[in-house]
Each structure stands twice: as structure tokens, then as C-alpha cells.
A and B are shown apart, each in its own frame.
Chain A
């Protein structure tokens, strides 16, 4: 995966995870154009589109679009499952997640994503294990100071 973007139906960015090095300007340009393209799609159209030289996989969940850019050799259908798994994780963590949860707790959304994917690939295929790790990490936040290495 090259990047993942979450944005609302009004085109407001809620999360951006880039797995390729690009300048801020390029990221903004890509985001703007891609958001426009995806928002212009009609509801009956399929979840895949070719954009520049990338394959884009997107899916709408309530008011949020989850949009991934994958490479030529990547499997589009399993990417849909990856997106779905991420949504399930968010849902389990926040309890019936909605867009507002992600707006007000964006850093947690990132933490969960970073326990699920690393460098654009899935690091853990068990839902339970991802959530357990997040839970433990959250507990660590309560500790005053960590033991040094």
C-alpha cells in the first residue's frame, strides 16, 4: 500500500497515512485530486479505479470514505478486507464508531492503524491481538515514567 486517506463526504481529511516519501506539496495535491475523483463517483460504481499509475480501492462507511492506493501486484479484493478489518477495529475500540470519534480522537485512530499495518502491510491478522496491544499500550500511558532501557 502506498497511502491511506480517510475523508468525509464534504472532502475534509480525517486521517492520512503515507507509506511513500513525498513532499508536503505533493501530498496535498494528491489528496485534493483524489478526494475530488472519489467524491464524484456514483454510488453504483465499483470500488476500484485507476488513477495515475496506481490502483485505488475505496469504500464508504457512513459519512467516511476509506481510500487506499495499492500497487499493481496487490490484490484489490483483499484490500477491501483490510479496510473492513480496520473499520472493525475502530468499531470495537470506540464502541459503534462514528466520524466524530475519529475527529476527536484522531491520534487513537492512528495508534490503532499502526498496530494493524506497518509499512503498508498487515502485521497482525488477529483482531483480538491488535486490540489487546492497544489496550496494554493505553494502560502504559497511566504510568508516570518508564523504566529506562
Chain B
């Protein structure tokens, strides 16, 4: 059999392949040759064959049939064989392979080999990919080598020990004695790996951490020597002596100094020294400064040092090297909570980073900017952030818009500013805003009573420009439905009122209904808005016509609404004005209210409308319970009932049927208090017979105001699959005039329609 081709020959041949298929053919041919060579147990060429196999493995081809051959190479006495064998083991024999453990004995022998380079190979292999079992078996050997005077082996043993500890943490204790003199080494390799080992041990065990705290002075001394010593050609990198070691020492100091006053004080001077004396012209110096800053911020450093650290980061921000700017922003983000004022000083530089070309830098600058917004800088910051929102990538827009809304809500200097800002976001990034911003914005607008005319005018103008951004369109429709009368009467004080007629407004709203750009939810909003205008405008006939057309719409949601609104015109016309009245001011409740009615722009919005059958309920779901209940009940067709009336506390139940699931009755309780004192800490509890299931959602509040000045509402959902007669036991607890009150009652007078 001719000698197998050489490795380089094979590589050259494979590279001449012009197509993937050609390459695969060559590989398969060679693999076949290698396989038969393996079968012949050829010692001479095994090494060459495995090397070729490793090359093909890198190209992505399977090489598992070479696993055992690697083992044989490791066991060979030729160094070349061992070198390739161990390389093969590291590439093909990781701990998931069955034959992995077969290596253990070979590695054990080689750990004690007379040639240090062989010992090195086995230490390297064990330290890179040894399994837990292997580590357990060989930990003793590693520990022995950790104590050798041979620095070549000692440094490798230290990192091997790190791997053993990571795989089998319980073995950490056994390495403790060997660490005693590690830091007295002169050899940098050993020093570096020792520091890594100590770091690993301290990170894993608080006991080790306290034990090693005494090393702080020694570490400080080593670091000092590195900085103060003259030029050392062996370890010099751009004028800095062994930056790798410096960085590792700084990191270990960070861990040792954290939360410990004495240690932190002991390292204070050296940190200041490193921070002020390190060259910043090259990346190396900045790498050390970066690590120093991280350490200063984490330990109990004095304020002067902390300011120094933040200033270093500030300087980093101005560095031409974008890598440096990146780490600066990352670090500032970590410290902005604890050292807020210091970071504020660099605000303008941070804001400039919003204009950076790099995506990661922009994102960090944006996060940091939001963290820095406060009552004083809100106007200026918002200008920058809105400009950023205009020009940033689509990936950012959602987060940026949310951030802007939050910041505006917290720090808005005036209501007009707030509305303008929100409008700006909707018009520039309208399709990226989160779903809950529509109800939130509606609530904001409703509560800014003096701005209604201004708002509806601006929204109307925005609609004329662009009807593609659904959140904007939805908010605008809702507003026009509510305040359309202000729009046509030209009452705006804040800016020049526009002249618009009722017909023009209806044109716009009808346009939304027919446009392809409108989603079903948007259509629902605009139909409802049109309906509301029937009590605000005089062109009722036109509205009647529109509503009746949609009574036969293919969209079931629209159809249902149109049919109901038609009914309003025909049978319940006397109720129409009350039903379509202006929405009252909504207070933001702390809890989110009914959790099942999700605030999305998707189908669930239509579910709300289904269950409520009420035109004006297109506002935040959290307010569901708070609308005037005398409006709610009539349309649902099920009369309300008084469930409880005692000692001035009256509890009424009103009903809706949940349309998608007719077995679910949705009951809203309304608790009122006719006594002269408030009922506080009010808790309503209910229990139903076994065949039912009950879900109680969060109450609107837990204070029932005195003298019927308000009510507490809460939604109950009852699942009644067997359509049995609804019965309920309720328990009321509250505090009245300082004394706790508790009562139990049975509720049996449910109207039949509520459970049939």
C-alpha cells in the first residue's frame, strides 16, 4: 500500500476543488484511505492520518472514527504523535464522547513524564476539556505539580487547577495549601496564573475570600513594582510593563476590597497612582485604566477617588477610539445610579454619542440618556431624544418611544409640553410605540381638560397628513369622537383655531373606515367616534346612514357595533345622550385593574367592546370598573340587582355576558356607603358552589367614600358550564369609624338571564 499522502499535499489538493461537490468527493476518497490505514494498525503514518482528519474536521466533515486513533497517538512514545494525539483529543474527544474517559490513564502517566513538554501537553488538555470524573481522578496530580519549582509546569498547573475547581467545586479545598507561596514567585507566568487561581477561589467561596484578604498588601506591592520598575523588555507592551498581570491583579483587588473597609483603604493609594500615571495613548493603557475604574467603583473607595474614576470615563467618552467610548458608556451605565451627580457632569458628551455611527454605542448612549433625565434638564434632553427618535434605526424606536413617554410622564414641565411631546412621538414613530401607549395617552388627554381643544385640533391636523400609523390614528379618532364639538366650534386658545366643518370631520372619520391602511381595531375606534358625534354634531342623519351601512359589514366586530348603535338610534334614543356623554376624568389607579382585559391593540380590544356593548368604553382597561355604572347595565339587557344592603353599605351587581364564552358571566360589583364616615380597608370576597369557578379581579380601590360620594367597583367572572342557578356567598370586611367590621351574606336573587 503506498504511503498516505502528506498533510500539506492533501490541503493543497482540497483547495483546488472548484465546487462543494468536488471537495466532498476528494474528502470521501481520502477518508476511505485513512480508514483502511487505521484498520491496518499502521503506527508510522497514524499521526499523519489523524492530522489530515483534523483538517477535514475543521472543514465541517465528520471525524469520529478517528477518536480511538487519537488515544493511540497519546499513548505513543513519540513526541510528534503525542502532540497531534492531544490536539485531536481536544478537538474530537470532549466530555460528551463515550471514549473520553479512556484518556485518563494516559494523561495521568504523562503528567508524571520526565519531559516537561509532555507534562505540558497533558496539563493543557486536562485544563481545557477534562470532564468532572477525569478532574476528580487527576486532581491530586495537578496539586502536586502546583507545588513544583519548575515555573513552566507550575503556571500550567495553576490554570489546570482553575478548570478542576470549575468542574468539581468541592475539590477547591485541596488546593489551598499549594497557594501559600504562589505570589512570592518572580516568574510572571506563574504570577499571572496564580492570580487567576486565587480569583477563581475567592469568587466561589466567601471563606476563601476572607482567608485571602491578607494578600492585599502583597498584591499592592507587586502592582507597584510593575508600575515603578523601569523598562522590562520581556513583558513590555507599548511602554507598559505586563498589562495582562496588572489587569488581573486589579480584578482580584476588586473582589478582595468589595465591602471591606480595611482592604479598600490599603489599595486606595495604588489605585490612585495607576489611575493618574497610566499612559492613555494606546489601547493597553486604557485597558488598565478601565479595570482600575471598575475596581474603584466596586470597593469602598473615598469620594475623591470615585470622582477621579468617573472623570476617567468622561475622558474615555471623548476618545477617538470607539472601543474606548463603548466601554465608557457601559461603565457609566453601571454607575449612574450610585454616582448620579458625577455622571450628570458628562451629560452633554453622552448625548453627543447618540449621533455615533455604531449601533452598540448609540444604544448605550440612549439608555444612559434616559437615566440622566431629570426635572432640570427635561426640555433640553427631550429635544435631543426626539431628534434621535427621528433618525434612529427601527430596532431602537420602540424602546426610545417608551423611554420618552416615561420621562415625559415623570418630568413634564407643563401639560401642553407633555401633549406636544407625545404627539411628536406618535407622528414620527407612531408605528413603533408599545400597545399600551394608546390607552395611556387617552387617559392623559382626558385629564388635561384645558387642553382638549388644542389636542383635538392637533390630532385632526395630523390625521389629515398621515393615516398609516395606527396608534396615532386610534388616539386621534377617540379624541375627535369625544371633543369633535370643540373642533368645529374653533375654540382653541393655544394656537390659531382651524376652520373645519362637521362634514369635513365626518369625511375624515369615514375615510378611516374604508382605508386599507386601517386595522380592524382602528375601524372600530372610528365607528365609535362617529357614533359619539351624533350627540355633538347636528348632522345626525349622515351619522345614522353610516352606522346602518356597517350593520352589514363583513367584519363581525364592526357589524355588531353598528347593529347596536342602530338600536340606540331606534329603540333607546332617549338614552343616547347620557350614554355618549363626555368621559369623566380618570384617576390613574395603582393596580392595573382587570388583568384579563389586556391593553393591546389586537383582538382583545374588541373583546372589551363585546362585553360592554358600550361605545364610550374604548379607554384604558384599568378604568373599566370606574365608569358610571348606571350607563353600563341597561344595554346588556340584564337588570342589575342589589346583592347586599346593610349598615349603610350597599352592594349592587351589574351583569355582562362575555361574548366569546357564553358560559362566563361577568359581574361588576358596585359598593356604596351612605353613612357619614368612610369605609376603609374594604375587602370583598366571594365563594361559589363547586360546579362553578370564580375569578375575582382587582378592586378599583379599598375605600368606600362616605355619603355615596363614590363607589368601589370590582369585576367578578363566574364560569358556569353546567348552567346551574347562580348562587354566591360573600364576605365583607372593612374598617368604619375606627372599628373593624365583618359580615357574611348569601346572594340568591340572581336574575335568570345571568346564568341561563
Q: Which residues from chain B contact A78 at a C-beta distance below 8 Å?
A: 243-244, 247, 287, 291
Chain A 93-109 per-residue mask, 1 if CB under 8 angstroms from chain B, else 0? 00000000001101100
Contact A111 B87 (CB under 8 A): yes
Residues of B within 8 A of A110 (CB): 87
Interface locus among B260-268, B355-363, B409-417: B355-363
Write the chain A residue with the least CB distance to B161.
A119
Q: Please judge, given known A-B contacts A121-B193, A123-B155, whether A75 and B283 are in contact too, CB under 8 Å.
A: no
Q: Does B626 contact A (CB under 8 A)?
A: no
B interface SS class: helix
1/0 per position for B299-337, CB-CB distance to A under 8 A?
000000000000000000000001111110000000000
> In the complex, what distance in Å separates the CA atom of A13 from the CA atom of B91?
14
Q: Is B744 an interface residue (CB 8 A)?
A: no
In the assembled complex, which residues on chain A have CB atoms less than 8 Å from the CB atom of B78?
A: 144-146
On whether the beta carbons of A125 and B235 are closer than 8 Å, the reply is yes
Please pick, from B120, B245, B283, the residue contacting A80 in the complex, using a CB distance under 8 A: B283
Residues of A within 8 A of B120 (CB): 115, 133, 137
Query: CA separation between A115 and B123, bound complex, in Å?
Result: 11
Task: Check B60 against A28 for contact (C-beta < 8 Å).
Answer: yes
In the complex, chain A residues whose CB is within 8 Å of the CB of B123: 118
List residues of B (135-158) whose CB comes within 8 Å of A's CBs: 152, 155-156
B656 lies within 8 A of chain A by Cβ: no
Judge whether B258 is part of the interface by a CB distance below 8 angstroms.
no
Say whether, besides A81-B287, A119-B162, A46 and B360 are in contact (CB < 8 Å). yes
A75 to B248, CA, bound (A): 9
Residues from chain A with Cβ under 8 Å of B283 in the complex: 77, 80-81
Contact bitstring B30-57, A, C-beta under 8 A = 1, else 0: 0000000000000000000001001100
**Residue A34 interfacial (CB < 8 Å):** no
- In the assembled complex, the Cα of A124 lies from the Cα of B193 at a distance in Å of 8
- The CA-CA distance from A143 to B54 in the complex, in Å, is 24
A-B contact count (CB 8 A): 176
Whether B159 and A149, one on each chain, are in contact in the complex, defined by CB atoms closer than 8 angstroms, is no
Chain A residues with CB under 8 Å of B325's CB are 46
Cβ of B483 within 8 Å of any chain A Cβ, yes or no, is no
CA distance A78 to B285 in the complex (A): 9
CA of A129 to CA of B244, assembled, Å: 15
A114 to B120, CA, bound (A): 10
CB-CB under 8 A from A104, the residues of chain B are 8, 11-12
- List the B side residues contacting A125 at CB < 8 Å: 188-189, 192, 235, 242, 244-245
Number of interface residues of B (CB under 8 A): 77
Cα A82 to Cα B114 with chains together (Å): 31
B79 at the binding interface (Cβ < 8 Å): yes
Contact string against A for B residues 232-253, beta-carbon threshold 8 Å, 1 for contact and 0 otherwise: 0011010000111101000100
Q: How many Å lie between the Cα of A82 and that of B247 in the bound state?
A: 12
> Quick one: which of A17-47 are within 8 Å of B by CB?
18-19, 21-23, 28, 42, 44-47
For residue B537, CB closer than 8 A to chain A, the reply is no
What is the CA–CA distance of A133 and B155 in the complex, to the nearest angstrom?
13
* A10 touches B (CB below 8 Å): no
- A106–B109 Cα gap in the complex (Å)? 27
A106 vs B322: C-alpha distance in the bound complex, in angstroms? 32
User: Contacts A107-B87, A125-B188: A119 and B323 contacting too (C-beta < 8 A)?
Assistant: no
Contacts of A18 in B (CB 8 A): 94, 129
| Contact digits for B121-143, partner A, Cβ 8 Å, 1 yes 0 no | 00110011101000000000000
Q: Which residue of B lies closest to A27 (CB)?
A: B94
Q: Which of A13, A45, A121, A144 contacts B159 (CB 8 A)?
A: A121
Closest approach, in angstroms, between the C-beta of B199 and any C-beta of chain A?
A: 9
Q: Is B115 an interface residue (CB 8 A)?
A: yes
Q: In the complex the two chains form, what is the Cα distance from A12 to B163 in whole Å?
A: 30
Q: Are B193 and A123 in contact (CB under 8 A)?
A: yes
- Judged by a CB distance under 8 angstroms, whether A147 is at the interface is yes
CB-contact partner of A13 in B58, B127, B189, under 8 A: B58
B290 proximity list for chain A (CB < 8 A):
75, 77
A149 and B114 form a contact (CB under 8 A): yes
Q: Kindly identify which residue among B11, B242, B286 contacts A77, using a CB–CB cutoff of 8 Å.
A: B286
List A134-149 residues whose CB lies under 8 Å from chain B.
136-137, 140-141, 143-149
Interface: A63 (CB within 8 A): no
| Bound: A81/B238 CA distance, A | 11
Q: Which residues of A contact B90 (CB under 8 A)?
A: 114
Which of A15, A48, A107, A114 touches B51 (beta carbons < 8 Å)? A107
Tell me which residues across on chain B come within 8 A of A121, comparing CB atoms: 159, 162, 193, 196
Most chain B beta-carbon contacts within 10 A, residue among A78, A85, A147: A78
C-alpha spacing A122/B163, complex, angstroms: 13
Q: Is the CB of B323 within 8 A of A76?
A: yes
Q: Is the CB of B237 within 8 A of A118?
A: no
Complex: A111 Cα to B290 Cα, angstroms: 31
Do A45 and B357 contact each other (CB < 8 Å), given the known contacts A124-B189, A141-B80? yes
In the complex, residue of chain A having the shortest beta-carbon distance to the beta carbon of B82: A146
The interface bits of chain B over 64-108 (1 if a CB of A lies within 8 angstroms of the residue's CB, else 0) are 000000000000011110011001001100111000000000000
B294 neighbours in A (Cβ, 8 Å): 75
B residues within 8 A CB of A15? Answer: 58
Q: Is B391 an interface residue (CB 8 A)?
A: no
Q: By CB atoms of chain B within 10 A, which of A28, A115, A119 has the most?
A: A119
Flag if B247 contacts A75 (CB, 8 Å): yes
A16–B87 CA distance with the chains assembled, in angstroms? 12
- Give A residues with C-beta under 8 Å from B: 13-16, 18-19, 21-23, 28, 42, 44-50, 73, 75-78, 80-82, 85, 103-104, 106-107, 110-111, 114-115, 118-119, 121-129, 133, 136-137, 140-141, 143-149
10 inter-chain pairs at a CB distance below 8 angstroms, sorted by A residue, are A21-B95, A45-B322, A45-B360, A78-B247, A78-B287, A81-B244, A106-B54, A107-B83, A140-B117, A149-B114
Q: Other CB < 8 Å A-B pairs besides A21-B95, A145-B77, 7 of them? A: A80-B323, A103-B15, A106-B54, A111-B83, A118-B159, A126-B188, A149-B110
